[in-house]
Amino acid sequence: MDLSGKKAIAIIGNGIAAVECVKALRQSGDDREIHVFGAGSLPPYNPMLTSYYAAGKIEYATMFPYGDSQGIFTDHGVILHLGAPVTKLSVKERTVTNAQGFTLSFDQCLIASGASPFIPPFPGSDGKNIYPMRTAEDAIRLKAALEKKPKKALVVGASMVGIKLVELFHHLGVAVCLADMAPRIFPLAAHPDCAAIIEERLRSMGVALRFSAGIEGVEARPEGGIQARFSDGGPPEEADLLMACIGVRANTGFIDRTEIEARQGILVDRYQRTSAPGVFAAGDCCMGLNLLTGESQVIGLLANARKQGRIAGLNMAGQEAAYTGEIPHNITHFMGMDFIGIGEVKDYTREEKRCDSTHYAQFFYRGDTLCGANMLDNLEDCGVIKNELVKQLL
Ligand SMILES: Cc1cc2nc3c(=O)[nH]c(=O)nc-3n(C[C@H](O)[C@H](O)[C@H](O)COP(=O)(O)OP(=O)(O)OC[C@H]3O[C@@H](n4cnc5c(N)ncnc54)[C@H](O)[C@@H]3O)c2cc1C
């Protein structure tokens, strides 16, 4: 089918940013044809919940914030093209083509293709028993692996995703080692003092930690499972499975970077417009304004993806809505702890600690201005601190 000449909207990606764009278009009275392209066939899922499903803590249906059918799209009159990734977006021809060879001519396009886990190309990186964790499909695969009752797991990447997997294995009684090339846990979000407390608590719960250890290679063991070598010169780590939580990359392989400007993600203005006329981008595939630094960066947060998707939809429908920016933050509950890392925890001129036997709070200032915070077990204060930061910056 080629819809040349017809006014159609193409949306690349079927995640949360895509849904919010569709909703905003229809709420604004836009009745053009909307075509959503999805690499996978499952309904939009919440990546934050995938590890809970794999652990058996939530039902399958709970992973899908808009329901476990495609109703959120079909109820809005969307035409779906699922199970085949978009392989080419041509700005010059104003077309989108997917892996099945289907081409659609578009009037406007939203790129909402999210991000994918990045596994560096170390020897053995493409072997069996190496698991990424992001999509609902990843969760289904991991759940199947867990049914084989592994005894030991290796989690590479001491990130927010990595710690969720540590929690999963600990909960299931599987011995777990957490490794990272960084010298501590949550290297981007936690101050060394706060990280040290978290690490001590994890060790006391039996989690093995291996820091300043970059993964160098993985071999399959004859008896099954893997053996991983690290740069710290220590003994290899043996495990039944390896979870790769090393980082993510924006899904932008289908764009021509001479047509659409991109760095770590697609560059957008405050209306979510890319450098190509009529082409917008939202969510983890694009950059957003970091209110603290004033720089553009990929902000991999669910609320940000929702916000950018909605703003893109409103502007595509001819309304005017602007993105004001975001303060990068991490709020994570794991192993009985609530960790909150907001804003800047490295580049500060003054710090202040308020700790007692049950609470830990550390605030960072540039001059007299609050620029970041770390908290443990203080979930209720988090919103207050974030609002305080935003108030200072807007
Ligand atoms: C384990 C985990 C925990 C997280 N925890 C938190 C948290 O605590 N708090 C928080 O705010 N955020 C968290 N996040 C981040 C949050 O989930 C993301 O920021 C958000 O889901 C991004 O939404 P999106 O729509 O931009 O992208 P995605 O959810 O990645 O959706 C993009 C969709 O596009 C599809 N796609 C990709 N390429 C193509 C293509 N070429 N053609 C067609 N379709 C394509 C993908 O298959 C995918 O379904 C977490 C993420 C993970 C993985």
pLDDT for 24 = 98
CATH fold, domain 8-116+249-316, is: FAD/NAD(P)-binding domain (3.50.50)
CATH superfamily of 130-246: FAD/NAD(P)-binding domain (3.50.50.60)
pLDDT band at 391 (very low <50, low <70, confident <90, very high): low
**One-letter amino acid of 147:** E
| Residue boundaries of the structural domains of the chain | 8-116+249-316, 130-246, 336-393
Closest residue by Cα to atom 20, ligand 1, is: 302
The Å distance, Cα 294 to ligand 1 centre, comes to 24
pLDDT for 389 = 64
Give the mutation target among 58, 73, 160 for probing the ligand 1 site: most ligand atoms within 8 A of CB. 160
The Å distance, Cα 212 to ligand 1 centre, comes to 28
CATH number for the domain running over 336-393: 3.30.390.30
Render pLDDT for 338-385 as a digit per residue (tens, 0 to 9). 999 988 898 899 999 988 877 889 999 989 888 889 999 876 666 676
Is 130-246 in the same CATH topology as 8-116+249-316? Answer: yes
Q: Indicate whether residue 124 lines ligand 1 (CB < 6 A).
A: no
Nearest to 299 by CA among 313, 274, 282, 280: 282
pTM for the full predicted model: 0.92
Token pair of 120 as six digits:
């560096």
* Average pLDDT score over residue span 78-86: 98
Token pair of 7 as six digits:
């006014």
Q: Indicate whether residue 303 lines ligand 1 (CB < 6 A).
A: yes
pLDDT for 229 = 97
**One-letter amino acid of 253:** G
Q: Which residue matches tokens 């009275």? A: 29
Q: Indicate whether residue 50 lines ligand 1 (CB < 6 A).
A: yes
Query: HSE-up of 45 (CA within 13 Å, CB side)?
Result: 23
| Residues 175, 154: Cα–Cα separation, whole Å | 9
Render pLDDT for 116-146 as a digit per residue (tens, 0 to 9). 999 999 999 998 899 999 999 999 999 999 9
pLDDT for 5 = 45
Q: Indicate whether residue 161 lines ligand 1 (CB < 6 A).
A: yes
Closest ligand 1 atom to Cα of 254: 41
Q: Indicate whether residue 267 lines ligand 1 (CB < 6 A).
A: no
pLDDT for 1 = 37
Q: Indicate whether residue 165 lines ligand 1 (CB < 6 A).
A: no
Render pLDDT for 275-289 as a digit per residue (tens, 0 to 9). 999 999 999 999 999
* Average pLDDT score over residue span 177-205: 96
3-state secondary structure the chain: CCCCCCCEEEEECCCHHHHHHHHHHHHCCCCCEEEEECCCCCCCCCHHHHHHHHCCCCCHHHHCCCCCCCHHHHCCCEEEECCCCEEEEECCCCEEEECCCCEEECCEEEECCCEEECCCCCCCCCCCCEEECCCHHHHHHHHHHHCCCCCEEEEECCCHHHHHHHHHHHHCCCEEEEECCCCCCCCCCCCHHHHHHHHHHHHHCCCEEECCCCEEEEEECCCCCEEEEECCCCCCEEECEEEECCCEEECCCCCCCCCCCECCCECCCCCCECCCCCEEECHHHECEEECCCCCEECCCCHHHHHHHHHHHHHHHCCCCCCCCCECCEEEEEECCEEEEEEECCCCCCEEEEEECCCCEEEEEEECCEEEEEEEECCHHHHHHHHHHHHHHHC
Q: Indicate whether residue 284 lines ligand 1 (CB < 6 A).
A: yes
